A = this chain, B = another copy of it.
Amino acid sequence: MARLNFTDNSFLLAESRETPMHTGGVSLYRYPRGVDQHEFLSDLRNILLGGKELRPMFNQRLANNLLSKANLFHSWETDRALDIEYHIRHSALPQPGRYRELFALISRLHGTLLDRNRPLWELHLIEGLAGNQFATYLKTHHCMLDGVASMHLANSMLSKTSRGRVNYSPLSLEAWEHYKQQTQAPNRGTAISPEDVKSLAERLAGQLGSGTQLVRALLQYANVWIGGNTALNAPWHAVPRSIISSNVSGSRRFVAQSWPFERVRAVGRALGGTLNDAVLAMCAGGLHHYLAQSSALPSKPLKAMVPISLRVSNDLDSSNAVGFIVTNLATHLDDPEQRFRTIKESMQAGKELYSGLSPGEAELFTQITVSPILVSKLLGLEKTLPAFNLVISNVPGPRKKMYWNGALLKGIYPASIVGNGQSLNITLVSYADQLDFGIIACRRSLPSIQRLIDCLEDSLCELEQLASVA
C-alpha cells in the first residue's frame, strides 16, 4: 500500500461536488476508409475490454482506512475486483451529431465526480459523430495522472502510420512496458525519490539549511509581496476580481477549437518571444475581448497560473511533476503590443526563479509556494483571497499525425479543472501542425463561454497584424 505524495494527495483533499479534481481528454478520430464503422468501434472496444492486467494507477484504488475516510491521507491498493466494463463506457451522440452535441456530452461527463471505491478513471468511446468521426473521452483523477503523463498514455496506443495496429489495450501493463522499452526510459530518474513520502515539514527542515538557491527563489517572491519587483509576479499579489473569480457550481461547459501551430509560432517569432508567449498573448487578448463584451473587464490585469513541466524527459512513472509561474496577462491594456511585451517579461522573470534549482529543489519550491493554495481551498478563502485568476496550460503532444489502429487522430482537446475563484481553465495541446485548445468553465459563472472561441480568433488576428505576418 503506497501513500500518495503531498501534491497527489492534495487533489483528493481539495475535492468537493462543486470542484471535482479530475482532468479529461477528448480525442477526435476519423474512421479509416471503407470500414464498417460499427464493427470497427466494436473491435476497439473489445481491445479496451480485453486488457487483463492493467498498467499502474489504472488498476489501483484508494485504500479504505481511517485516514482516507477522514480524507486526510490516502494510499493506493490494487483493486482485486476491478470491473472493466464499469470503466470502459460505450456512449453515443444524439442526431445530428455535431461538435455541439459532443461538447454538450463532454460538459456533462466532466461535471460529475468519479467513484472513489474504484480506480479513478473512465474511458468513453463515443459514436454518432458526424463526418465519419468518433471520439474518446478519458477522465482521470489528477491525483493519478497529470497532463504530461496522459500524453504518454495517449502515445502508447497510437502509431505513426495508418497501417500500425495495436491489439492489446493501451491501458494494459503489456502496452505500458512496451512503450517504456521503445522510449528507452527504464524508470524515473530524478532526484525526487523516497523523499516523496516524507511530510513537507520534514523535508523543509532537512533542506532549507543547505538549499541556498531555494532560499534565493523564496526571497524573490517575498520581494514581490513587499513591492520591490515589478516584472516578477507572485501568487496572491495584486490579483483582480472579475466574473472569473466566482465560486463555482458543480456544472461545466466545455468548448474546443484547433488553431494552426504555424500561425501562433509566426507571431511569437516576429515579436521576439517564444511560442508560449504568443499563446499567452492570444489568450490575454481573447479574455480582454470576452470580458469587455460582458462589461466585466477589470481595470487591473488578470494573473494566469502557467504550469511548467519539471519532469525529467525520461521520467514516465511519476504522476505529477509540475512547477508554476504566475504571469501578468495585461488584460487591462487595449494595445496588443504592450500586452505581448508585458507577458514576455513576466514569463522571463518567472523562469529565472526556477533556473538555478535542481529538480528536487524545484519541486520543493513549488510545494512551498503552492501549499498555501491548498490551505486557502480548505478554509474556503479562494474567492476572497485568490492566488491567481485562471490557469493557462500548454501541454506538448505528439509532433506527428498519429493513428489508432488505422483511424487518424484529428485532435486532442483537454478538459481540465476549475475551482472556487478560478471558474475558467484554458489548456492546449500541441499536436502535429496544430494547437488544440480545450476550454472548461463553470456553467453557472460563465454561461456563454463559447464566445471565447471567437474572441481568441480575433485576438490572434490582431497579433498577426501587429507582427505583419497575416
Give min CB distance, A119 to chain B, whole Å. Answer: 12
B111 pairs with A90, CB closer than 8 A: no
A94 pairs with B91, CB closer than 8 A: yes
Q: Flag the segment in A81-89, A228-236, A335-343 that touches B.
A: A81-89
Contacts of A443 in B (CB 8 A): 83, 86
Give A85's nearest chain B residue, CB to CB.
B104
A251 pairs with B108, CB closer than 8 A: no
- Which residues of A, 355-382, contact B by the 8 Å Cβ criterion? none
Contact A93-B92, Cβ < 8 Å, known A115-B251, A116-B250: yes
With the chains together, A329 CA to B353 CA distance in Å? 70
Main secondary structure of the interface of A (DSSP, over half): loop
B117 pairs with A249, CB closer than 8 A: yes
With the chains together, A104 CA to B45 CA distance in Å? 15
**A300 near B: Cβ within 8 Å?**
no
Give A97's nearest chain B residue, CB to CB.
B92
One digit per residue, 1 when the CB lies within 8 angstroms of any chain B CB and 0 when it does not, for chain A 73-84 equals: 000000001010
**A38 near B: Cβ within 8 Å?**
yes
With the chains together, A18 CA to B117 CA distance in Å? 9
- Which residues of A, 92-127, contact B by the 8 Å Cβ criterion? 92-95, 101, 104-105, 108, 111-113, 115-118, 125, 127
With the chains together, A92 CA to B98 CA distance in Å? 13
Contacts of A272 in B (CB 8 A): none
Give A90's nearest chain B residue, CB to CB.
B94
With the chains together, A91 CA to B105 CA distance in Å? 8
**A421 near B: Cβ within 8 Å?**
no
**A447 near B: Cβ within 8 Å?**
yes
**A444 near B: Cβ within 8 Å?**
yes
**A128 near B: Cβ within 8 Å?**
yes
Contacts of A112 in B (CB 8 A): 112-113
One digit per residue, 1 when the CB lies within 8 angstroms of any chain B CB and 0 when it does not, for chain A 229-261 equals: 000000000000000000001110000000000
Give A128's nearest chain B residue, CB to CB.
B92
With the chains together, A83 CA to B108 CA distance in Å? 14
Contact A90-B118, Cβ < 8 Å, known A17-B17, A127-B95: no
Give min CB distance, A315 to chain B, whole Å. Answer: 32
B17 pairs with A86, CB closer than 8 A: no
With the chains together, A39 CA to B1 CA distance in Å? 55
Contact A444-B81, Cβ < 8 Å, known A92-B93, A127-B95, A251-B115: yes
Give min CB distance, A441 to chain B, whole Å. Answer: 13
Give min CB distance, A323 to chain B, whole Å. Answer: 31
Looking at the complex, which one of B38, B117, B127, B249 makes contact with A115 (CB distance below 8 Å)?
B249
B115 pairs with A111, CB closer than 8 A: yes
Give min CB distance, A141 to chain B, whole Å. Answer: 13
Give min CB distance, A188 to chain B, whole Å. Answer: 32
Contacts of A108 in B (CB 8 A): 89
Contacts of A94 in B (CB 8 A): 90-92, 125, 127-128
Q: A90-B104, A118-B251 known; 18 other A-B pairs, CB under 8 Å? A: A17-B17, A17-B113, A38-B95, A81-B444, A83-B444, A83-B447, A86-B251, A86-B443, A90-B94, A90-B101, A92-B93, A92-B95, A94-B125, A94-B127, A112-B112, A115-B251, A117-B249, A117-B250
Please report A residues at the B interface, Cβ cutoff 8 Å.
17-18, 38, 81, 83, 86, 89-95, 101, 104-105, 108, 111-113, 115-118, 125, 127-128, 249-251, 443-444, 447
